[in-house]
Amino acid sequence: MLQNINISNFITEKGRRLSNISLTYEVFGKPLFEAPIVLVNHALTGNSNVCGEKGWWNGLIGENKCIDTTQYTVLSFNIPGNGYDGVEKHLYEDYTLFNARDIASIFLEGLERLNIKELFAAIGGSVGGGIAWELAALKPDLIRHLIPVATDWKSTDWLKANCLVQEQILLNSNNPVYDARLHAMLIYRSPESFKQKFNRTFNEDRNMFNVESWLLHHGEKLQKRFTLSAYKQLNHVLAHIDVTRGRGDFLEVAKTISSDIHLISVNSDMFFTAAEDTQTYSHLKQVKNNVTHGVINSVHGHDAFLIEFEQLSELLEDVF
């Protein structure tokens, strides 16, 4: 069930004061304070519905699954403006309003309003993982297990470049959500994934190759459920992840975070690359002992964190 917290007089990093932010959330599994709490941060086109029949991460979260809802309380916030509450708010017409740290600050206020003082774990994939990094930097003693999946503590030049292309499509296309999704799927997957899935097969009914039919289907599917304003805003948040901004270098920030940190990469990820996580892991090991780095081996690129549930569960079984 979708629940709501009204946050008043929030000031963004840009200094804009918002009189009211509606922060919606869902709770799964055990009731709050009856079990360890796991915060799950959604990815760009995701939402707070993380498990159950239509849950976007139901291969990982649920009864007798890796994050077992009979043993844990699972909490998930919606990034304000993602449209999951079905309400278009004039506050978010400026899609550059929030960066990832703003979202983490809003989530932190939500946790405080719920009287949650500690989290057993905070896990997120892609932009959700970047927000988890920002949350840990804002409150270094909050999270026992920080689990960034297919993500990084920063938006790299490569990531920013792809987000810029997405932004230009969203601003200038006659069919923006549809067209942006077509481009996005090329960076969420990999050439080998396409080869394995399609192998140049042809769709006689549609008179096009199956890879083309599949891409057009994804464009249509997202267009039906995701608004242009939400896409522009979340893409902007994705391009603006940086736990070091105003705080010194990464090692200085990492030293303050008490969490056990479990990095999860995808070896074929062309969006948040495994090479960046390997470098992050190397840096973390200079100042922390409680850090691990697991790698999902998959042809499916960035989206493997939404596909390879068996591997992801194995990598996280020591935590949960």
Q: Where are the domains of the chain?
A: 3-155+241-316, 158-235
Tens of pLDDT along the chain (320 residues)?
A: 999 999 999 999 999 999 999 999 999 999 999 999 999 999 999 999 999 999 999 999 999 999 999 999 999 999 999 989 776 554 567 899 999 999 999 999 999 999 999 999 999 999 999 999 999 999 999 999 999 999 999 999 999 999 999 999 999 999 999 999 999 999 999 999 999 999 999 999 999 999 999 999 999 999 999 999 999 999 999 999 999 999 999 999 999 999 999 999 999 999 999 999 999 999 999 999 999 999 999 999 999 999 999 999 999 999 99
Tracing tokens 């007798």 back to the chain, one arrives at 64
The Cα–Cα gap between 92 and 108 comes to 20
pLDDT in tens, 140-168: 999 999 999 999 999 999 999 999 999 99
CA distance to 187, 240, 241, 283, per residue, from 287 (Å): 33, 25, 22, 7
Torsion of CA 15, 117, 128, 168, to 10 degrees: -10
Q: Which fold has domain 3-155+241-316?
A: Rossmann fold (3.40.50)
pLDDT in tens, 90-142: 456 789 999 999 999 999 999 999 999 999 999 999 999 999 999 999 999 99
* SS3 label, residue 205: coil
pLDDT of residue 113: 97
At residue 181's C-alpha, the angle toward residues 239 and 4, to 5°, is 65
Short-list 182, 179, 159, CA closest to 171: 179
- For residue 100, give the amino acid letter: A
Short-list 111, 80, 83, 72, CA closest to 18: 80
pLDDT of residue 93: 74
Does 1.20.1250.20 match the CATH number of domain 158-235?
A: no
Pairing of strands 119-125, 143-149: parallel
What pTM was estimated for this model as a whole?
0.96
